[in-house]
Amino acid sequence: MVQQDKFIYVGIDLHKQHHTAVFIDCWNQKLGEIKFDNKPSAFPLLEKEVKKHTKKGLSVVYGLEDVGGFGRALAVYLTENKCWVKEVNPKLSTARRKSHITVQKSDSWDAECVARVLKDELLQLPDARPIDLYWAISQLVTRRKGVVKVLSGCIKNLHQQLGYHYPSYKKFFSEIDGKTALSFWEAYPSPRYLKDMEAETLAEFLRSHSNNGLSHKKAAQILSLIEADGDTYRDFQDKRDFIVQSLVRSIRFNQQELAQIEEEIGGLMKQLGFQLETMTGIDVVTAAELVAEIGDIHRFVTPDKLARFAGIAPIICGSGNKVRNYKSKQGNRELHDIIKNLAIRQIAVTRNKKEPRNPYFHAYYGQKLTAGKTKQQAIVCIMRKLVNVVHYLMRTKAAYIIPEVSIKQAG
């Protein structure tokens, strides 16, 4: 049992350039305050100031709201120096600040609210464990999301431009950002470059850029579609052609960046030794997204705690003899969405044979619907089961094996 009067509680309000720390005792009495720069050389100043208020027999515990962003360097420093560091949910400190009759806002008061939450919720708050490997994976996942967003924007703009130049462009290739398609748009950004061109000449170009995957038939089809579209030439056509070629260059660059990032992610994931990809619907990227949001799985002693962290566990509301469960809108929404998408993949069927990709979850989904659950409620049930699976796979580093489906379940 932790004796609260044996600690000094240090709450820290974190910023990009500087941090503010406030120290309180077990009676919420403010002992001191310090403002210091957010750089490793300034962190010893915090410990030095705290020691001035640490009497014999007292220990120190630190509370940080953000151990993955602005506060990560400080969290690493403190943990490496054998300090006890807790991760304080920003919602708790915000609620504490707003709970007073007169609501105020300052770095000093924010830090004191963090310290008060730290004192009251000491045993419930998770220990800060800033492990570099998890942090690097998180940074790569974030970078990948940025590249994907830029790439999607470029492809969307290319669709728009091609619509002006080639009204039937969607019939040219299965994907407008494929290797052969990009080569075509770069070489022929508008129909004027194809004027009086023979089908065989274009076919030779297509063969050289598609590893002989496209032939004379495709070339004839493209030229026929262009002729059917009519004349799309306008003034300053060369400027709009430049835009198409510029978009092609941007798409290629971002595709290369994406491939390199995913290669780096794959290398780091191998070091963790997880076998999450053995499960239906999880590739290296999805596995990395799970790891980036969960971090060290040992922070969560049970799957229930992980479910609550992800906002999947229901909220229980009751008064008197009436008790109801409500859908949670709290928790880590990024992790919630990842698990939701994963749940939808579990009930998918193959394109050709229409066979369930995961017979166990497909049957479980059917059972829930038969029991009167809505589709959304059934998916939430799958999400909760997936939390158990992910928690087990990450703790044991085991491979996923689809459970056998009994005749009763299949029916």
Per-residue confidence (pLDDT) for residue 407, from 0 to 100: 54
User: Which helix (H) or strand (E) segment is 3 a member of?
Assistant: none
Other beta carbons less than 10 A from residue 316's beta carbon = 9
Per-residue confidence (pLDDT) for residue 299, from 0 to 100: 85
Low-confidence ranges of the chain (pLDDT < 70): 1, 319, 323, 326, 406-411
Bridge-partner residues for 59, per DSSP?
Answer: 7
Distance separating alpha carbons of residues 408 and 304, to the nearest angstrom: 28
Q: What is the pLDDT of residues 182-241, one digit of tens each?
A: 999 999 999 999 999 999 999 999 999 999 888 899 999 999 999 999 999 999 999 999
Residue pair 19/65 in contact by the 8 Å Cβ criterion: no
Residue pair 275/356 in contact by the 8 Å Cβ criterion: no
Q: In the numeric block, which tokens belong to residue 17?
A: 């350039």
For the packed helices 237-272 and 132-165, what is the interaxial angle rounded to 10 degrees? Answer: 160
Distance separating alpha carbons of residues 218 and 145, to the nearest angstrom: 35
63: left (phi over 0), alpha (psi -120 to 50) or beta: beta
Same CATH topology for 4-130 and 135-267: the answer is no
- 135-267: CATH architecture: Orthogonal Bundle (1.10)
3-class DSSP string for 169-235:
HHHCCCCCCCHHHHHHHHHCCCHHHHCCCCHHHHHHHHHHHCCCCCCHHHHHHHHHHHHHHCCCCCC
Distance separating alpha carbons of residues 391 and 386, to the nearest angstrom: 8
Residues contacting residue 353 through CB under 8 Å, at least 6 positions apart: none
- The SS3 assignment for 198 reads coil
Q: In the numeric block, which tokens belong to residue 257?
A: 């960046």
pTM: 0.84
- The SS3 assignment for 379 reads helix
Per-residue confidence (pLDDT) for residue 409, from 0 to 100: 57
What burial class does residue 14 get, using C-beta atoms within 10 Å of its C-beta: 0-12 exposed, 13-18 middle, 19+ buried?
buried
The letter for the amino acid at 379 is I
Other beta carbons less than 10 A from residue 275's beta carbon = 16
Q: What is the pLDDT of residues 134-159, one digit of tens each?
A: 999 999 999 999 999 999 999 999 99
Q: In the numeric block, which tokens belong to residue 29?
A: 């009495």
Per-residue confidence (pLDDT) for residue 102, from 0 to 100: 77
Domain residue spans of the chain: 4-130, 135-267, 276-410
Class of domain 4-130: alpha beta
Residue pair 331/312 in contact by the 8 Å Cβ criterion: yes
Q: What is the pLDDT of residues 266-293, one digit of tens each?
A: 999 999 999 999 999 999 999 999 999 9
Per-residue confidence (pLDDT) for residue 55, from 0 to 100: 85
Residue pair 253/155 in contact by the 8 Å Cβ criterion: no
